[in-house]
Structure formats: structure tokens, C-alpha cells
Amino acid sequence: MASKAATVARILLGLVFVFFGLNGLLHFLPQPPMEGAAGQFIGGLSAGGYFVPMMASIQTISGLALLVRRFVPLALILLAPIVVNIVAFHIFLAPSGLPIAIVVLALEVLLAWSYRSVFHPLLRARDEAMP
């Protein structure tokens, strides 16, 4: 049962990030203008010129990795800060999107838990193999 849940989570998360990553690159989904602090934040990210395409590329590539089940732990590591920022953005700046952000966070956490044995060495305080 747990492996089926992880498979469903991997595919759903992959689809979400491929879709929205490609949208960030190709702009096929119309985006309503954001007001207030949310608009200022997005405007600031866009103003640099490099950040949004870089983030969209990471989302697309990581989403594809999840879909084809290649480099899944690496994809989860690359997506983790993006997911945290999505959740923070919706908590502090645009609460209307919070339910979807929480679903994305839950999928990320479920997958990370499923791959916890891979992440275990990253969480050691000291590396005994190195002098």
C-alpha cells in the first residue's frame, strides 16, 4: 500500500511541476495580475530576468525526473526549497492558494519519507568516512 501511495504521489508531483514549470517557461496559462505584497514579490523575482526561467527549468526537469522515475531523490532535494517557498508565499502573501500548496507539500513529504533511507546519510552530524 505504501509503495502505491508513493507511486501516486510521485506521478502527481511530477505532473504538477512539469505543467507549472512549462507554464513558467512558455506562459500558456493566463496569469491574473497580483496585487499588494504578492504582486511586489513576484515582480521582484521577475525583474532580475534570470530567476523565473531558472526556477521554471528546475521545476520542469525535476518533474520529468519524477515522472520517469530517474534521480528521484535529487529531484526531491531540488524541489524542496521551491515547495517551502510556495507554501510560505501562500501563507503570508496569497492565502487563497494555500490548500493546493498544502497538497503539494504533503506529496513532497510523503515522497521524501518513502525515500528516507537515501536521505539518511545526509542527516548525519559527522561523516565518519572523511578524516
Per-residue pLDDT tens digits for 53-106: 999 999 999 999 999 999 999 999 999 999 999 999 999 999 999 999 999 999
Angstrom distance (rounded) from CA 67 to CA 88: 26
Q: What is the pTM assigned to this prediction?
A: 0.91
For residue 60, being part of any structural domain is answered with: yes
For residue 126, being part of any structural domain is answered with: no
For residue 31, being part of any structural domain is answered with: no
Q: Give the structural domain span for 105.
A: 2-26+37-119
Q: How far is CA 6 from CA 87, 90, 112, in A?
A: 21, 25, 9
Q: How far is CA 123 from CA 13, 16, 118, in A?
A: 24, 28, 10
For residue 44, being part of any structural domain is answered with: yes
CA dihedral in degrees (6, 17, 35, 103; nearest 10)?
-10
pLDDT at 2 over 90: no
Angstrom distance (rounded) from CA 13 to CA 17: 6
pLDDT of residue 123: 84
Residue found by looking up cell 507554501 in the block: 87
Angstrom distance (rounded) from CA 117 to CA 111: 12
Q: How many domains does the chain have?
A: 1
For residue 128, being part of any structural domain is answered with: no
* pLDDT (tens digit per residue) in 111-130: 999 999 999 888 888 877 66
For residue 127, being part of any structural domain is answered with: no
* pLDDT (tens digit per residue) in 10-66: 999 999 999 999 999 999 999 888 899 999 999 999 999 999 999 999 999 999 999
